[in-house]
Structure formats: structure tokens, C-alpha cells
Amino acid sequence: MSPLPPGHFHGLPQRSRQAAGLLLTERVYTAGTVLARHTHARPYLRLVRQGAVTESDGRRVRVCPPLSVVFRSAHEEHSEVMRGEGARSLIVEFAPEWLDRVGHHADALCSGGFFADGPVPVLALRLHRELLDWDELSPIAAEGLALELLAAASRRAPRDEPRRAAWLSAAAEVIQTRFMEPLSLTGLARAVGVHPVHLARSFRHVHACTVGEYLRRMRVGFAEKEMASSDAPLSDIALRAGFCDQSHFSRTFKRLTGSTPAVWRAAIRRR
């Protein structure tokens, strides 16, 4: 299998910048897009900004919700399916000199990794904002953020994941299709036929976040798409996304993205 050469990724590119051996690209994918098994010549990370992506590397299947980060090492075989209404991602590709520069201090570039909470997604979000608001200082800012991101990823070494049971895949599917509803851990466990404690423990081990956090990320991802594509009031979007009120929506949105919904929407409209 020939790897995709540097700078070549699937999806429709929206914007792209290069700086200090980094290639930052925002890409969108239509719903149902299936990317057959492939590899890349260089290591990269993907931040899922909107939508959900199901990926497989032949050993495990993993659902990547909004605001999660996946590292892929060079020549690592994998396939992907874009769920829901499609996906939007930030792709950051690392030139060979980054491996020489950080060496064994960046395990994520050599062995891959998955992060759904903690500092890694937060730093990746800042890198995405830098791409969106690029100026003369962005190259040095992007380089610094990439170094911080790799350090944070290396401190939290990726764990081996067990082969996913059918019920665990079913649980993720239920959340993806019913995230607007008032789901409970007990109800979800009953729907897939396992004990709530077993569900909670196994779900966090595989997805690197709790069931509740996964649910919040799906709701925030839906809200981002609604705010970007419609003029609906924030209160209406909050209710459609499954939040009890606009205040709850605003608190959750800011905690996950670092910005209030109003500020985020205004920034999207300016662009």
C-alpha cells in the first residue's frame, strides 16, 4: 500500500497554512463518506470539530466525537467513516524534522494516541483558532502550541485498548443518534444489556472520557453546526441540542471550547 504523500488528505480543504514544518488544514467531509484503508507518509493529528468519525486500524474500532483528537503515526493503516451529517476536522501534519527535534519526548508521533478530554483537545482547539485568524505572528504561535500539545500528549501515554464488544459499539451508536434526549447511564446500560458500572468503566477505557462527557461533546458539535448554518436564537438551538436551557448550554459550550456561543457565532459570521 503506497502512503498518501505529504499534504494529501481526503475531504474538501477549507483553508491551509504552513509554519515551522507544520501543515495545518481545515477539511470538511460529507455524510456517509467512507475512506478505505490507507496510510500517510507523515505523522499527523486530527481534531474533530464537528460531526463524528468512526475509525478502524484493524485492531480496534473507535468513535471519535466532536472535540476529540487522534494522533496517527506515519504509515499506520486505518480506515474512516463520517457519521451523522458529515464532519469538519483540523489536520496538522508534522514534517520529518519534528521527529528529530522532539525524539522520544513525543510518543504520540511514533505510536499514535486518542484524547477526548484534558489539555490535548484544548490546545488543539487553540491551534485551530490560530489557523482561522492567521496573521504575521501565527507561525511562531502555531509552533509553540504544537510543542505544548506534544508535551501534553506524551505525559498521558496512550493505553492499549481491548477489542470493542458489540454492546460498547451499540452504546456509542445510541448516544450519537439520541444525544438530544435526556439519556441516563442506567437507561443506556439497560438498552445495551450490561450493568451500568461495567458500561461506565469500559466506555471510559475505550473512549478516554465518560459517557456524560461524550454526550456533551455530541450536543456541542450539533450546536456549532446549527449556529454556523442558521439564524435561530441560541435558546432554540440549546433546546434542540438537548440542553435544559440557554444558561446550561452556554456554560457547557464555554467549558469545552473556551468561548461563549455568542462570541463563537460572531467569529464564524465575520469569517
pLDDT band at residue 162 using 50, 70 and 90 as cut-offs: very low
Q: How far apart are CA 62 and CA 216, in angstroms?
A: 18
Count: domains in the chain: 2
Residue 160 inside a domain? The answer is: no
Shared domain for 145 and 66, answered yes or no, is: yes
Same domain for 106 and 210?
A: no
Residue 7 lies in a domain: no
User: Cell numbers 469500559 correspond to what residue?
Assistant: 202
Residue 55 pairs in a beta bridge with: 62, 80
Dump pLDDT digits (tens) for 54-99.
888 766 677 888 889 999 988 888 888 887 677 889 999 999 888 8
Give percent of the chain above pLDDT 70.
93
Q: How far apart are CA 48 and CA 120, in angstroms?
A: 12
Residues 69 and 146 reside in one and the same domain: yes
Q: Give the C-alpha separation, 74 to 83, whole Å.
A: 25
Mean pLDDT, range 117-128, rounded to an integer? 90
Q: Which domain holds residue 217?
A: 166-270
With 50 as the cut, is the pLDDT of residue 102 above it? yes
Rounded-to-integer distance, Cα 143 and Cα 92, Å = 11
Mean pLDDT of 221-247: 90
Q: Which of 28, 89, 153, 40 is nearest to 57 (CA)?
A: 40
Q: 6 lies in a domain? A: no
CATH number at residue 201: 1.10.10.60
DSSP character at residue 4: B
Written as one letter, the residue type at 246 is Q
Residues 17 and 62 in one domain: yes
242 and 209 housed in the same domain: yes
Assess whether 133 and 190 both reside in one domain.
no
CA–CA gap between residue 13 and residue 16 (Å, rounded): 7
Long-range contacts of 257-265, Cβ-Cβ distance < 8 Å, separation of 24 or more:
257/67, 257/125, 257/220, 258/122, 258/125, 258/126, 261/223, 261/227, 261/234, 261/237, 262/234, 264/224, 264/227, 265/227, 265/228, 265/234
Same domain for 139 and 227, yes or no, is no
Residue 164 has pLDDT above 60, yes or no: no
Same domain assignment for residues 147 and 207: no
